Amino acid sequence: MNKLLQTLMDGVAVGSLYALIALGYTMVYGVLQFINFAHGDVVMVGAWICFLLVAAAGLAVGEPQLGALYPADWIAIPLLLGMLALLMARVPRRCLSRWPQTCHAVELAATVIAAVCGIRFLLLGGGWAGYGLHGAAASQGWTRLAPALGGAAILVTAMCICAVLGYLFERLAYRPLRDAPRLNVLITAIGLSLLIQNVGQLKFVFGTEPQAMAVLLPDVVLVEVAGVSVRLLDVGILTTTILLMASLDYLVFRTKIGTAMRAASFDRHTAALMGIPVDRVVTFTFVMGSALAAAGGFLFVSKYRSLQQPADMAWVLMGLKAFVAAVVGGIGNIRGAMVGGLLIGLLEFFGAAYLSPQLRDVYVFTLLIAMLLLRPSGLFGRHALEKV
Amino acid sequence: MKPADPLARELRPSIALTFVKSGAPILMGAGLALLVHMVLAPRMQPLHAKILQDIGINIILAVSLNIVNGFTGQFSIGHAGFMAVGGYTAAGVSYYASYALWGSPAANGGVLSFMGEWSSFEGPLFAGGDGLFLLACLAGGTVAAIAGVVVGLPSLRLRGDYLAIVTLGFGEIVRVLIQQSREQLLTKQAVEEVGCWERFLHLGGALGFTRLPFYTTHFWVWFFAFITLLVSFRLRQSSYGRAFLSIRENEIAAEAMGVPVTRYKVMAFVFAAFFAGIAGGLFAHQLGTTLNPGELGFQKSFDILIMVVLGGLGSISGAVVAAVALTILPEVLRDPPHAWPLALAIIIGILIFKRRAGIRGAVLLAALTGAFELMRAVAVWQEIDLSKYRMILYALSLILIMILRPQGLFGVREIWDWRPQWRKRHPLPTRGDPA
C-alpha cells in the first residue's frame, strides 16, 4: 500500500512535468502541423539558465552568506542597444515602400538585436531579483523559505529568457519555412536542435561538465499519509505545474488570443482571412511553449538535482517522453497533452516500481509504438481525414 | 529463338549483347577499383589514402540514404543503425569464421586485401580471406536488409514525422542492444568452448569489437561504391524508380494510380539498408577504425543526412559530391588553407562564361570566401582547432541550406543534366522547376 501511494505520488509529480513540456509540442503542432524537435533542447537551456542564475544569486537553504553577483557594468550597453533596436524595429512607412527588402532585413536585424540584448538584461536582472527577494525574505525572518522565493523570481526570469529564445527560433528558423514542404521543416528542426546542443556545450555558454543544482526548498516532510511521506518539494512542484497549466487553460479557452490560437489551429489561411494576425499568433504560441518548457526544466532539476551536459541523452529522453505524452493525449489537443503527461509519468513510475527499473524508458516507447499503430490520433485527438 | 515477325526481330535485342551491356559496367568498375588500389593508393601518403577510403565508404552511405530519402521522399534518420547492424554482422562472421577456418583472426587475403607497396607482395590476387570478407560483407548487407524490412513495415501506418521518430528510435535501439552484448572471445579455446551460433552474441559490448582482420582496401571500397552507384542509377531508371519518385511527389495520387505504396516504401528501405550494411562491413574491417556502438549513433546518421541534403535530395551525383566534400571538410578545418586563390579563379570563370547571369553567384561566392578567410584568420590567430566546432558548422549550415536553398546543390538533377542539350538524351522524370 505504501509502495502504491509513493509510486502514485512520484508518478503524478513527474507526469505533471512531462505535461508542461508536452504542452509546448502540442501547441506548436496545433498551429503549424509540425513537430518541433528543438523543444526538448529549450527545456535543457531553461534548466541550465536556472542553475546559472541560482549559482550567481547564491541561493541555498541553510547558508547565511549570499554568493557573488554579476558585475553591473555590463548592463548599460545592452540596455541602450536594445532600446535603440526596438526603435529601429518599426521603420517609417515611406522607407518600407521604396526599399522593401532592405527594410525587412533591417527590421529583422533590429528585432534580433533587441531580443539578444533582452536576454542579456534578463540574465543580469534575474540574478539581482533572486538575490533581492532572498534578502528581503530573510530579513523578514523567513529564513527557510527565503531561497524558494528567490527561486521563484529566477523561475519567472528563466521563463522570460526562454520565451525570448523561442521568439528568436521561430523568427529566424521557422518563419521562412512557413509554407515549405514538411520534410524541410523537420530537417531544420533537427538542425536547430543539434545547434542548440552543441552551442550549449561551448565553454563560455554552459560547458561539458555535469553540475549539481543547489537545494532551494527545505527537505521537509509535510504529512505522513498511510506510511507515505509527502514531501514539500513534490507538493511545490505539483502546485506550480497546476498553476501554470490552469493559467494556460484559461488563456487558451477564455481569452481573445487563445481563441485566435485555436482558430489558427483549425485553418490558418481562413483565420488570416478573418483578420487574425497569424504570424503574431504563431510567435505567441512558440513563446508560450518555450516559457512552459523553461518551467518544466527548472522543476525537473529541482527534483533531480544533477544537471547533465547539454548534449546528454537524459535531455533527449525527457524531450522524447514529453513528445510521447503529447502524442498519447492527441497531438494538437491541449487538455489531451495534460492527461497524456500524467499517464506517461504514472506508466513510467509504476513500470519501474513493479516490473523492472532498468527498462523505464522502454515502457514509454512501447506505449508510443502501440498508440501509433492502433490509434494514431491519440486519446483526445480528432482524426483529420486527408482530402485530395 | 528469333521471332518470326521481321519488325519484332529488329526491335528485340540480342541476348548476348544484353548481357555484355549490363555486365560491362561492373567489370569496368572492378577494373577502375583495381587501378586505384594498385596504382594510385601506393603512391599516396597513408593519411590521404585513409581519407580516400573514408570518401568511398561515405559515398556508399550517402547514395544508399538517397534511395530512401531522395527517391522515395521518406524521412529516415537512423541510417547509422543499418550500418551498425551490417558492420557487426560482417565483423562477427569474419572474426569467428577466421577462427574456425584458420585458427586465428589474422588477415588471410591476397593482393586485393593488401595495402602497401604492391611490388613487394607475392601471392594470389584473390585468396581465401578475400572470399571470406566478401561473404561477410554480403551477410552484413543481408541482415541489414532484413532490419530494413522491420523498419519499413510500420511505414504503412506512420507518416512523415512519426516515421522519422521510429527510425531514430531504431538507431538508438540497435546501439543499446549492441552495448548489451557479451564480451568478445579472444583466444582459440574460448571460441571453441562457446557454441557455433552462440558466438554471435559475443560482440564486445560497449568496449567495441577489436582485433578484426584488416581486409578493407581501396579495391573493395571503390568496387562496392561503384556497384552502389550503378544500382542506384539503374534503379532510378527502372519501373521501381518511377514508383519511388511517384511516391515522393504525391503518395495519394500514386496509390490511386495503382502503385502499392507500402511495398515500394519497404523496398526502398531494403535497398538502402543493404548498401548501408555493406558500408558497415567495410567500415568494420578498416585499418584505423574501431568498431564500437558509440561511433555509429545519431551523430553518424546526421553526418550522412547532411551529405544527402547538401547534395540535393534525389540527386545521385549530388550525394557523391557532398560526400566527398564533407569527408574532406574536417581535415580542411583542422589546418585550413587559403581559399581565395581558388575562389578567385572560380569567380573569374563565372564572370567570363555567364556574365550578367553569374553576378549574383559570384557575389555570393565572394561573400562566402570572405567569411571563410575571416574564420581562418581568427582560428590561426587564436590557435583554435576548427574541427572541434564541426557540429556547430554542420547544424548551422543545415538550417541555412533549408532556408536559402532547400534543393541543395543539384536539386533533383544530376551533374550530367547540366547542359540543356545533354538533358534531352536522358529523359529522366524531373520536377518541373526551370533551369
Contact B392 A195 (CB under 8 A): yes
pLDDT attached to residue B136: 93
Instruction: Look at the block and give the residue holding cell 524541410.
Output: A184
* Distance between B395 CA and the closest CA of chain A, angstroms: 5
Selected residue of A183, A315, A358 to mutate for chain B interface (largest B Cβ count, 10 A): A183
Among A66-80, A163-177, A335-349, B309-323, the least confident range: A66-80
- The answer to whether residues B218 and B37 touch, using CB atoms and an 8 Å cutoff, is yes
Q: Assign A219 to helix, strand or coil.
A: coil
Please give the Cα distance from A123 to B213 (Å, whole number): 55
Neighbours of A126 (CB within 10 A): 26
Confidence of residue A46 (pLDDT cuts 50, 70, 90): very high
Number of cross-chain residue pairs from A and B with Cβ atoms under 8 Å apart: 76
* Statement: residue B307 has pLDDT above 80: yes
d(CA B186, CA B5): 68
Residues of A in contact with B309 (CB under 8 A): 187
Q: Does B166 touch chain A (CB under 8 A)?
A: yes
Task: Tell me the chain B residues in contact with residue A176 when contact means C-beta distances shorter than 8 Å.
Answer: 403
Cβ distance of A183 and B158 shorter than 8 Å: no
- Which residue's entry shows cell 531522395? B70
Q: How far is A320 from chain B (nearest CA, A)?
A: 9
Grid look-up 511553449 returns A289
Q: What is the pLDDT of residues B249-284, one digit of tens each?
A: 998 899 999 999 999 999 999 999 999 999 999 999
> Can you read off the three cell numbers belonging to residue A342?
500524467
β-pair partners for A224: A229
User: Among A18-32, B16-30, B381-395, where is mean pLDDT lowest?
Assistant: B381-395
Chain A residues with beta carbon closer than 8 angstroms to that of B158: 372, 376
Rounded to an integer, what distance in angstroms lies between the CA atom of residue A314 and that of residue A41?
11
Cross-chain residue pair A184–B160, CB shorter than 8 Å: no
Has residue A51 got a pLDDT over 60?
Answer: yes
Q: Do A191 and B253 touch (CB under 8 A)?
A: no
- B158–A372 CB contact, under 8 Å: yes
pTM: 0.85
CA distance A25 to chain B (A): 13
Query: If you average pLDDT over residues B115-132, what whole number do you get?
Result: 75
Report chain A's C-alpha Rg in angstroms. 22
Identify the weakest region by mean pLDDT among A57-66, A156-165, B201-210, B319-328: A57-66
CB of B362 closer than 8 Å to CB of B351: yes
B68 touches chain A (CB under 8 A): no
Q: What is the pLDDT of residue B429?
A: 57
Mutate to test the interface with B, among A33, A168, A190 (most CBs of B within 10 A): A190
A164 min Cα distance to partner chain B (Å): 20
- Convert the pLDDT of each residue in B399-412 to its tens digit: 988 888 888 888 88
Q: Which residues contact B21 (CB under 8 A, 6 or more apart)?
A: none
| pLDDT of res. A69 | 45
| Residue A27 confidence (pLDDT) above 70 | yes
Whole-angstrom distance, CA of residue A111 vs CA of residue A99: 18
- The CA distance from A367 to the nearest CA of chain B, in Å, is 13
Name chain A contacts of B169, Cβ cutoff 8 Å.
365
Within 8 A of B166 by CB-CB distance, chain A residues are 369, 372
Residue of chain B with shortest Cα separation from A311 = B299
Three-class SS of residue A223? strand
Is the Cβ of B165 closer than 8 Å to some Cβ of chain A? yes
* Cβ neighbours of A35 in B, within 8 Å: 161, 165
Query: Closest Cα partner for A18 from A373, A351, A342?
Result: A342
Q: Read off the pLDDT of each residue in B82-103 and give the average, rounded to a whole number.
A: 89
Query: Does the CB of A192 have a partner CB in chain B at under 8 Å?
Result: yes
End-to-end CA distance of chain A: 55
Asked if the model's pLDDT at residue B188 lies above 90, the reply is no
Nearest CA to A319 out of A2, A125, A35, A30 is that of A35
CB B132 within 8 A of CB B108: yes
Say yes or no to pLDDT of A178 above 80: yes
